[in-house]
Every structure is written in C-alpha cells, then in structure tokens.
Amino acid sequence: MTRHFLNLSDAGGDSIAAMINDAIDRKDARKSWPKGKADADAPLADHVLAMIFEKSSTRTRVSFDIAIRQLGGTSIVMDSGSMQLGRGETVADTAKVLSRMCDAIMIRTDDHAKIEELAANASVPVINGLTDLSHPCQIVADLLTLIEHDKALPGLELAWLGDGNNVLNSIVEAAGLMKFNVRIGCPEGYDPDTSFITAAKAAGANVTLYRDALEAAAGADVIVADTWVSMGQAHADAKMEAMMPFQVNDVIMDQAKSDAVFLHCLPAHRGEEVMPSVIDGPQSLVWDEAENRIHAQKSVLRWAFGQI
C-alpha cells in the first residue's frame, strides 16, 4: 500500500515518534558535514522527488531539496507557471504521469482537495508540503525542535496566539496523537477547523479556546505564533486589527513559564505577530526550528518509502 503523508494522522503517533527519533540520530551522525553531502548509508540513492509549488516557498523548497540530496536522491522542482497543471491539465493526469517518472511527489498548494485527488491517482507517495487545511511537515520539525530542547511532549502546554490557520490545525492534530495540550488564543471569526479539535479531544488532549491572549499564554511551556495574513488573503486590514491583541511580546512571554520557548514557522513580521525582543531573544528557537525542516523532511520521506 502506497504511503501518503497528507496529514499527521496518516502516519499516527507511534510513527511520528519514530520519525523524530530517526531525525535526531541522522542529524547527529552528520554533524559538521557539508550540507550537500549524502548520508553514509544514502537510503534513497537514485530516487527522484518531484516537487510542485503552487505557492511561494523558501523553507519547504530548500529543506526538501537538501533532504532528498542527503538521502542520496535528487529532485525536480516545478511551479504552476511552468508545467501543464497550470494550463489546465487535470490533477489526476499529472499524478499518473509523475508516478511513471518519479519515485515520490511533494506538493505545496492552496486547496487540500487537490492533494487528496493527487494522492488518489498517484502510485507513488504524495507528501503535503502545505495546503490551506494543514501543514504536517512543519509540525514534525516543531516537535523535533521541542524534544531537542528537553520539552517532553506528554502533558506539554502549548499556547498558540493568532490566526486559526493550517499550521494550528496540524498542531491540534499532533496534540491528540502525541498527548499534549493546546491553549488557543485567537479572535472570534478566526477559529481553527473544528474537526481537528474534535479528534484531538477524543484522543485525550485538552484543547481550549481563549479570546484573551494573556489567559491563553498563562503557564504555557511553549508559545507559538505565525504570520497573520497568508499569501493571497483578502480583507487584510480588518484581520490585522483583530489580531493585534494577540501579538506575542514581552508581556505575553512573562505570562508563560520561566523556561518557556518561542516557535514561529517563518516568515515572520516583526512588530506584527511578534516583537523583535521575542523572536530575536533568548527564548526563541526559530532558527533551530527552521534548520530542523531538513531533518524532519528526511524522516517523512523515509517513512513514506517504508524505511521507518
């Protein structure tokens, strides 16, 4: 059976934990090596990863490209403006063709239904590099970063401040799988997808919604923020006004535990969702988090190929 990674639940909690352990081991094994050098065992030697970008990307593009190189394979990068998908070729036809030519497909797109159709018609693994619904690869990197910094997941109190977007949906999904709790601080009208909350609660996680940022941050082990206005979103002025009370600043960080850490998947807008004193301060792990996209991606790829 082909292993697709469209959401974290496609792998499940045990496999997510195994991915993180694998990422830690492989990262440690290649310390001080050149970034483009393949791992000693090159477990995906001669494999080709097709990467489709219908939305702009820095971290997802570079991390997947470096990840497949370090695993011994190569990548082909495409965007909608330079492939037939952007000129009306169906998603199903694209999936069938790429399955004959490549060993796996990673896509970053706007509509989650599109990646589901791609996976339904592909005979090779399809990996979610971001959709409007979820961002599972980012969360594997986030969990890896927290564990590296001695934050045990079971019982962890994670506070999210801002928009109830795709990243938050995947965090809530992870909470149910990995048994931590989520304190969501967001304004009315910007709540996350309720299906993820329902599933996480059913799995035993505490997911609480607050309309006050200080309440959401109180006693948290981790504070997480993301940009307030995603690419192509309309009504930005009204959204910015609604989000401003949920800005992560020193007052918010003081509400969290004294050893709390800060995460942001980037790109960041200093002075909007986060102040420079936080993202560039001693509690911020954002640069480790960004680098860990590579190591997380490698483990996601190895899981998709049945190696984990």
**Catalytic residue numbers, as ranges:** 108, 135, 138, 226, 265, 293
**Residue 186 assigned ligand-binding role:** no
The 10 Å Cβ neighbour count of residue 39 is 17
Residue 226 assigned to a binding site: yes
231 annotated binding-site participant: yes
Is residue 166 part of an annotated ligand binding site? yes
Single out the residue of 87, 122, 103, 124 nearest to residue 45, CA to CA.
103
- Whether residue 90 is annotated as binding a ligand: the answer is no
Rounded CA-CA distance 307/305 in Å is 6
233 is in an annotated binding site: no
Q: Is 187 annotated as a binding residue?
A: no
Instruction: Please indicate if the annotation marks 59 as binding a ligand.
Output: yes
266 is in an annotated binding site: yes
Contact 217, 223 (CB under 8 A): yes
102 carries a ligand binding annotation: no
- Annotated ligand binding at 108? The verdict is yes
Give the C-alpha separation, 73 to 71, whole Å: 6
What is the rounded distance in angstroms from the CA atom of residue 74 to the CA atom of residue 46?
Answer: 7
Is 211 part of any known ligand binding site?
no
Residue 136 marked as a ligand binder = yes
292 is in an annotated binding site: no
Q: Is 247 annotated as ligand-binding?
A: no
Strand ranges across the sheet with 126-130: 74-79, 48-53, 104-108, 126-130
* Residues contributing to the annotated binding site: 57-60, 84, 108, 135-138, 166, 226, 230-231, 265-266, 293
* Residues contributing to the annotated binding site for carbamoyl phosphate: 57-60, 84, 108, 135-138, 265-266, 293
* Residues contributing to the annotated binding site for L-ornithine: 166, 226, 230-231
